[in-house]
Chain A
């Protein structure tokens, strides 16, 4: 993808989907996130990278309130995240999340995993929810596994089910928390392919990952985090070819070496 098409796409981006303003978070005395400012437009695809312990996972988990922030504002899809459970539930309905360890429900079949939230949260009739689930399972290329249990699938298949499960809620925003870190190398590609396809369809995505190839292919913007701060952000070509910050240069030289 060259810079020109990306610029065209940038202009096509819609209104603000996520706005984080001067956000801070502490674990006890430990200041994990420091003054995070981030604006994500609808349709934008953002890759977050950085060394472990830099706060990248914590940051995206704040966006659907799996983690609570103590200072600053987070506004998702026009709703501010406060202690109000109604707001939190509203945000969570519109934000899908894919976890490093899949977190599929092992006591339910793949189909039941996918229809649970539509039926119980969106109150979709069961037959309709199953039809939608089947569509998404076909899109992630595992319709034939619909009636198996997660424990019977490979890691890559499980992660694809997890993606389908999130999509079944027709979310406006998708968060990916290191979706390929727990997978064998052979399986990383099948998951990335699904994510690339999703990106090409215009889904708003924030993705914590170390897959720099993925970042180069689909991201509009790459964010580098360290010690709880956003150190640098730029569009991918510029980010990889011409990193400004010393810390970014060091990080990139280390992960791109092999």
Chain B
């Protein structure tokens, strides 16, 4: 093997005067990556070949079915069959709006779009530290929940829309965003409460966490949809979506609390002692010293809980709310479009995968960004 960088032969260097040389060609770059990752051992070589073979078998067939042989515009299933042998996306194209808005009145859908755009602005502002005009966005984020509530629900000059008209992706996003943004702070409070020195707070938190964790979400949703009306005074009409939001949030909070407790326990005692020794009060010490570190450690678990919550939102189907999966199932009953379950479920799967994958990538980015080179 010949190096492309050569040291001048026979030259002696005084200690400390040897120049920094670039590494040899084979010790860096794509060649090294391939050698290390794909062909490092006989087993690895076999696996690489098998993987390439499997991909070769699967990808062309799938691409033909999903794209080149597929139909994108057709009036019904039969027309689809005539136009192509692959997937029948025409069904999705035709029902696109149902999948997105559910039964939200057509004339009012601009409100949903506007809310979604504003939500994206807020999310970008919150998640992207160098976002231009971030200060204003953060201030806007404080009033956004009220604005969004008004836009989506109506009243005060806008036409009222009832929550049973909500559905599709819109419903998933509402449950996801509300659940995620509330379960984190509630989870933090529960985790801190569980470590409290005051027995009442401590046991209340433990009781809540263990009860909620010990019951399946479906049960909680059933309780929300049916049994709650027995406990509430007769005549009170408690919005079903609101009940679902509360249950989903509480459920996620209990899991969140345990994830964060794990992070809290990983913080060395010395950190709290140092904060105490400076005269910081409890809440200041928690907010400035303990939580930033504990939450950083917990990021994978927190995002895991977020993703779980987001996907669990499909369970609302069993109490009659129509999320994308529910819309899909209801649509499959249509006589004109029979036998398209593959397309429908694939479509819904892609939607969920994109959202969840985005969360996962963001969590990796955050972990890398917050890494301050301290591992002990």
Residue numbers of A with Cβ under 8 A of B are: 64-66, 89, 92-93, 95-97, 99, 101, 103-107, 116-117, 120-121, 149-152, 165-166, 169
What would be 19 A-B contacts, judged by CB atoms less than 8 Å apart? A64-B276, A64-B277, A66-B276, A66-B277, A95-B277, A99-B270, A99-B273, A101-B268, A101-B270, A103-B273, A106-B293, A106-B372, A116-B288, A120-B284, A150-B372, A150-B374, A151-B373, A165-B278, A169-B279
Contact, CB under 8 Å: A103 / B274? yes
In angstroms, how far is the closest chain B Cβ from the Cβ of A130?
A: 16
Contact, CB under 8 Å: A107 / B370? yes
Chain B residues contacting A66 (CB-CB under 8 Å) are: 273, 276-277
In angstroms, how far is the closest chain A Cβ from the Cβ of B111?
A: 41
Interface centre among B279, B284, B296 (most CB of A within 10 A): B279
In angstroms, how far is the closest chain B Cβ from the Cβ of A101?
A: 6
The distance in angstroms between the C-alpha atoms of A225 and B281, with both chains bound, is 32
In angstroms, how far is the closest chain B Cβ from the Cβ of A107?
A: 5
**One of A99, A105, A121, A151 near B279 (C-beta < 8 A):** A121
Nearest opposing residue in chain B for A118, CB measure: B278
The answer, yes or no, to whether B139 is at the interface (CB within 8 Å) is no
Known interface pairs A105-B271, A106-B293, A107-B292. Does A97 touch B277 (Cβ–Cβ under 8 Å)? yes
The answer, yes or no, to whether B280 is at the interface (CB within 8 Å) is yes
Besides A95-B277, A99-B270, A117-B278, 20 new A-B residue pairs in contact (Cβ under 8 A), listed by A number: A64-B277, A66-B273, A66-B277, A93-B279, A101-B270, A103-B268, A104-B274, A105-B274, A106-B372, A106-B376, A107-B372, A107-B374, A117-B280, A120-B288, A121-B284, A150-B372, A152-B372, A152-B373, A165-B278, A169-B278
The distance in angstroms between the C-alpha atoms of A43 and B224, with both chains bound, is 67
The 8 closest A-B CB pairs, nearest first, are A151-B374, A106-B374, A103-B274, A117-B278, A151-B373, A92-B279, A103-B270, A149-B372
**Chain B contact residues: over half helix, strand or loop, or mixed?**
helix
Contact, CB under 8 Å: A151 / B270? no
1/0 contact trace for B256-299 toward A, CB 8 Å? 00000000000010110110111111001000110011001000
The distance in angstroms between the C-alpha atoms of A103 and B276, with both chains bound, is 11
Which interface class (under 10, 10 to 19, 20 to 34, 35 or more) fits B?
Answer: 20 to 34
Contact, CB under 8 Å: A99 / B274? yes
The answer, yes or no, to whether B375 is at the interface (CB within 8 Å) is yes
Nearest opposing residue in chain A for B373, CB measure: A151
Chain B residues contacting A93 (CB-CB under 8 Å) are: 279
In angstroms, how far is the closest chain B Cβ from the Cβ of A64?
A: 6
**One of A99, A121, A149, A169 near B374 (C-beta < 8 A):** A149
Chain B residues contacting A152 (CB-CB under 8 Å) are: 372-373
The distance in angstroms between the C-alpha atoms of A150 and B271, with both chains bound, is 13
In angstroms, how far is the closest chain B Cβ from the Cβ of A182?
A: 11
Known interface pairs A149-B372, A149-B374. Does A105 touch B280 (Cβ–Cβ under 8 Å)? no
The distance in angstroms between the C-alpha atoms of A221 and B242, with both chains bound, is 69
The distance in angstroms between the C-alpha atoms of A89 and B278, with both chains bound, is 9
Nearest opposing residue in chain A for B370, CB measure: A107
**One of A92, A106, A150 near B278 (C-beta < 8 A):** A92
The distance in angstroms between the C-alpha atoms of A101 and B280, with both chains bound, is 19
Known interface pairs A149-B372, A151-B373, A152-B373. Does A105 touch B289 (Cβ–Cβ under 8 Å)? yes
The distance in angstroms between the C-alpha atoms of A103 and B288, with both chains bound, is 14
The distance in angstroms between the C-alpha atoms of A150 and B288, with both chains bound, is 16
The distance in angstroms between the C-alpha atoms of A83 and B348, with both chains bound, is 59
Contact, CB under 8 Å: B276 / A120? no
**One of A65, A89, A107, A169 near B293 (C-beta < 8 A):** A107
Chain B residues contacting A105 (CB-CB under 8 Å) are: 271, 274, 289, 293
The distance in angstroms between the C-alpha atoms of A169 and B280, with both chains bound, is 12
In angstroms, how far is the closest chain B Cβ from the Cβ of A53?
A: 19
Chain A residues contacting B289 (CB-CB under 8 Å) are: 105
Chain B residues contacting A116 (CB-CB under 8 Å) are: 278, 280, 288
Chain A residues contacting B268 (CB-CB under 8 Å) are: 101, 103
Chain A residues contacting B278 (CB-CB under 8 Å) are: 92, 116-117, 121, 165-166, 169
Chain B residues contacting A65 (CB-CB under 8 Å) are: 276
**One of B271, B280, B293 near A121 (C-beta < 8 A):** B280
In angstroms, how far is the closest chain A Cβ from the Cβ of B212?
A: 30
Contact, CB under 8 Å: A89 / B274? no
In angstroms, how far is the closest chain A Cβ from the Cβ of B298?
A: 13
Interface residues of B in 329-376 (CB under 8 A from A): 370, 372-376
